[in-house]
Amino acid sequence: MSKRAAFLDRDGTIVDDPGYLHEPDRVKLLPGAGEAIRRLNERGFVVVVVSNQSGIARGYYSADDYHAVQRRLAELLAAQGARIDGDYFCPHWPDVTGAGGGEPCDCRKPGLKLFREAQAAFDIDFARSWWVGDRLSDVQPALRLGGQGILVATGEGNLHQGQARALDVTVVADLAAAADEILRS
């Protein structure tokens, strides 16, 4: 049987977003985020981080820097009994195309490539899955893939609440409240 997943944005959803986060010592979990992920783990959700990381294409940091931040995030989550099962990121700049044409790459959210890769790797049922983030691009894939989206008011979320509600996307305070919503369903 296919699994349920919680697709989570990283910056502004799980961790504080200082802008182009690339230093492991600057990784700070948002309040309640570790516990929220632990509860999703315990209830059998595959927890997948999908993140746009245009700072790599812009030359602000490297893919190795991204992975160092992810290792620190894993340490902080493990200390709270939580884990991330899958980690996917788009290293492209918004105006840089994946194939040299005029369209953005399909791995940059709200593109679907990384979600489909996770689906294949973990046998995920999109219809039983959730997308959580602080930007519309984090939750729009849910609308296209048949799942449920939740916008969190942390990070950039306050800027997108009206648009999210117009799309019938649930808006909550933070990742802990999103986990509550997911686990109630």
Place of tokens 């884990």: 83
Q: Verify whether residue 138 is a known catalytic residue.
A: no
Q: Verify whether residue 11 is a known catalytic residue.
A: yes
Task: Report, as residue numbers or ranges, the catalytic residues.
Answer: 9, 11
